[in-house]
Amino acid sequence: MSRSALSALLAVAAASVVLAQPDPADPTPLVDKHYAYPSGIPYQVDYNTAAIRGPQVGYNICNSTTENQQSMCQTSFVNHIDDFCLWAPPKPNSTIGDTEQEEVAWCTKPGHGTRLIPSGALTGVQLIKTPNYIQVVGFIDQTQINMAADDYGGELDPHGADLRGNPLGGLMYSNAFPSNGGNNASYQQVIDWTNFMGGSAFCMKICDPAGQNQQGLCQNIYDRLGCEYNAPNNAQNHVFEVCEGDDMSPPGIYTSNGQTMTYYQPAESLGPITTVPYTPVVPASSNCVTYQSAQLYSGQPAGTPVASSTPTAKPTGSTGNGGSGSGTRTGSAGAPSPTTNGASAMGVSTVAGLAGVLFAMAFLS
């Protein structure tokens, strides 16, 4: 690796070492808490009231009695374009940055014991199945899922400053990986996933627990770079489609002059990210099948549209930073809003990066 890449890496590692603090009251990382669905799931996976950030705000056993728009269910699913959930706040007009530890599951389909994304809130969704992950990218009236209209958002993942996850105790399941054998009634726990929410868009990526490099492909340390870098895509507003695709190059990994390089996001204390040394490549996709929204979504409660919150059409269809390819970022889906407390989001991400950085160092050295 180049000297600059190495020094960037060491800077991140140093910052991370200072901040990485498993909570003594609950030292087991969320990614190491595995439960068979549904029988093995406890009421709460993260319940210790002595924990520094407190226990999780919701619960993990979710059923017909918890299925309503006040549900505090924190067990989520990504199954198919008509059956997936996003993490979003429990209370109206919240920012992801302020509420990342308490997000609850908002799903497209009844039956998971969660809140439902109101009818019409999703205005375009692309689901891509690759050899090693499933990625759902889309456009949403985010005010319908309790997000402030102007929130540029942030990233949710099962790591976090204390390795307890954002949201705390949030679990993820899927019935859609090939390793599940096509049995929709059987669910696998997803160990590594990322979900960027904000800027009237979202990207959710879940990595196959039986696949290759789930840690790298669902890397959580690039939380300031948004969907363009973490889930490169060509999703378009007003289009609902399912495609097959190739795996992306893991976030942060790129090729320059024939050499494989690793970029690390700088600490937030160094100021806004103005340049990134590479332009993410949207992986090839094929066999896309398009749908009408009404074919996919039913049984959702009516929404209450807010005039000012119409999702912005992105000309290139790239969720994230507009897909300009300039290597600069202006902030969009998933990038912490300049008006929110980015510091807390970034503190978390830097810490969350520890395991990933150390892994990368071992791998590269």
Ligand X SMILES: *[C@@H]1O[C@H](CO)[C@@H](O)[C@H](O)[C@H]1NC(C)=O
**Residue of the chain from 39, 65, 179, 287 that contacts ligand X (CB under 6 A):** 65
Nearest CA among 21, 1, 29 for reference residue 360:
1
**What character string, x for contact with ligand X (CB under 6 A) and - otherwise, covers 138-167?**
----------x-------------------
Assign residue 210 a region: left if phi > 0, alpha if psi is -120 to 50, beta otherwise?
A: alpha
167 upstream amide cis, omega within 30 of 0 = yes
| C-alpha count within 13 angstroms, C-beta hemisphere, residue 150 | 3
Residue 100 CB, shortest distance to ligand X, in Å, is 17
For ligand X (CB under 6 A), the number of binding residues is: 13
Contacts to ligand X from residues 191-220, by CB under 6 A: none
61 binds ligand X (CB under 6 A): yes
Between helix 3-19 and helix 342-364 the angle, nearest 10°, is 120
Contacts to ligand X from residues 69-128, by CB under 6 A: 80, 82-83, 93
| Of 80 and 129, CB closest to ligand X | 80
225, 274 in Cβ contact below 8 A? no
38 upstream amide cis, omega within 30 of 0 = yes
Alpha-carbon distance of 324 to 146, in angstroms, equals 29
| Of 7 and 295, CB closest to ligand X | 295
**Range in contact with ligand X (rule: CB under 6 A) among 4-12, 57-65, 162-170, 326-334:** 57-65
Residue 64 CB, shortest distance to ligand X, in Å, is 8
Q: Which residue has the tokens 């302020």?
A: 98
**Range in contact with ligand X (rule: CB under 6 A) among 8-16, 60-68, 331-339, 351-359:** 60-68
Residue 286 CB, shortest distance to ligand X, in Å, is 18
100, 166 in Cβ contact below 8 A? yes
**Range in contact with ligand X (rule: CB under 6 A) among 63-71, 134-142, 291-299, 310-318:** 63-71
328 binds ligand X (CB under 6 A): no
**Residue of the chain from 4, 63, 68, 326 that contacts ligand X (CB under 6 A):** 63
Give all strands (DSSP E) within the chain, no chain letters: 75-80, 83-88, 104-107, 115-116, 122-129, 133-140, 154-156, 171-174, 188-189, 193-198, 201-207, 240-245, 253-256, 259-262, 285-291
59 binds ligand X (CB under 6 A): yes
| Of 59 and 193, CB closest to ligand X | 59
**Residue of the chain from 26, 31, 41, 66 that contacts ligand X (CB under 6 A):** 66
Contacts to ligand X from residues 25-44, by CB under 6 A: 43
Residue 82 CB, shortest distance to ligand X, in Å, is 6
Q: Which residues contact 134 (CB under 8 A, 6 or more apart)?
A: 78, 127, 128, 174, 176, 177, 205, 206, 208
Instruction: Tell me if residue 31 falls in helix, strand or coil.
Output: helix
Catalog residues that contact ligand X under the rule CB under 6 A: 43, 59, 61, 63, 65-66, 80, 82-83, 93, 148, 182, 184
